Amino acid sequence: MTRTVRIDVGAGYDVTVGPGLLDTCGGALAPLCRGGSAFVVSDSTVAPLYLAQVRRSLEEAGLRVSSFVFPAGEKSKTLATLGHMLEAMAEAGLTRSDLAVALGGGVTGDMTGFAAGVYQRGISYVQLPTTVLAAVDSSVGGKTAVDLRAGKNMAGVFIQPAAVLCDTDTFATLPEKWFRDGLAESIKYGILTDRELFFRFDGLDRSEMPELIARCVAIKGEYVHRDPLDCWDRRYLNLGHTMAHAMEKLSGYTLAHGHAVAMGTVMAARYGERLGLTEAGTTEEICRIYSKNGLPVSCPYDAGALARAASMDKKRTGGDVTVVLIETIGRCFLKKMPVSELYELARLGLEG
């Protein structure tokens, strides 16, 4: 039932996916913690559910455990929370040979990774993702961040985790909205490179999640291996994200990321189809699979607003943006376009 995917970047690390991993995490993590102290970070929703279990396992493995809990939600992903976390690490007496442990979703993982990257100029950290999105995306690849007033993920460092343990039993408590949100990114990997994976989401059997997550992680791992610092090839992972980021911004960040990615991917498909770049019928097929998994496929914003918001995206280089377009389900390509073309992407990407 348990699967392991090796991520081949830097020293390399294993992503282990399966049930029951929190109960045994101490045995897996103790060898990564020479100093003997683990600092577990979690949010106010996840901590009451899983922190005691993780603490018990780490202590049974002989580690000293301290913890830091912050209020759940994206609104906590700030420099202020990061500051409190770093102070708590110092108060706990954490040294360079100790270990930070991120127990939670992408918000927890992104901030813990950032703190680990800068605390005493860098200590090791591990990810224990408890959302589908964190499992298939944010826990792997070493991007960490906090939000600034100017936008999401505007400050951060690249630092790869020493290990990722994804206990799929934790999804039992994950609210349905967040479960579906992570499916959007999972389906994205199928559209990118794996047609068979894409169709596994047609009538998803949730007992197969460990296998599907491992496949998504393996795909992400390939991109991360080829492009650790997100300079070229890793941009493929941004399928659907140009318009998704614009929608998130327009919603004042109340729209969940995966839901925005679903709508953004549909827009990329429709734009490509209308220009004859994407195989006919692709948009319909993608809409069908997203809808079947409870994800939205029509965007509530107009083309002008989307284009304006998208043109401020941090991913642009000078006057150009690179967007990911779909050739057919399972194969995508990058297209560089002037920022002015974003309006056409939005206009042709919308229905009607």
Q: Pick between residue 134 and residue 346 the one whose CB is nearest to ligand NAD.
A: 134
Strand 124-129, strand 163-167: pairing: parallel
- When the beta carbons of 44 and 340 are compared against ligand NAD, the nearer one is 44
CB 238 within 8 A of CB 310: no
Structure tokens at 33: 């913690």
Nearest-10 Cα torsion for 123, 113, 91, 167: -100
At its nearest, how many Å lie between ligand NAD and the CB of residue 237?
8
- Minimum distance from residue 72 beta carbon to ligand NAD (Å): 4
* Residue whose token pair is 């206009």: 347
Q: What is the rounded CA–CA span in Å between residue 106 and residue 77?
A: 10
* Least gap, CB of 110 to ligand NAD (angstroms): 5
- The least distance separating ligand NAD from the CB of residue 74, rounded to whole angstroms, comes to 5
Interface with ligand NAD (CB under 6 A): 43, 45-46, 49, 72-74, 77, 104-108, 110, 130-131, 133-134, 137-138, 141, 143, 152-153, 170, 173-174, 178, 181, 257
Minimum Å distance from CB 144 to ligand NAD?
6
- Between 1 and 154, name the residue whose CB sits nearer to ligand NAD: 154
* Tokens linked to 139: 């826990």
Nearer Cβ to ligand NAD, position 30 or 128?
A: 128
Nearer to ligand NAD, 141 or 272 (CB): 141
Residue 207 burial (10 A CB sphere; 0-12, 13-18, 19+): exposed
In angstroms, what is the minimal distance from the CB of 172 to ligand NAD?
A: 8
Nearest-angstrom CA–CA distance, 193 and 191: 6
Contacts 24+ apart (CB under 8 A), 287-292: 288/202, 289/187, 289/198, 289/199, 289/201, 289/202, 290/184, 290/187, 290/262, 290/265, 290/266, 292/201, 292/202, 292/203
- Name the residue nearer to ligand NAD (CB basis): 251 or 328: 251
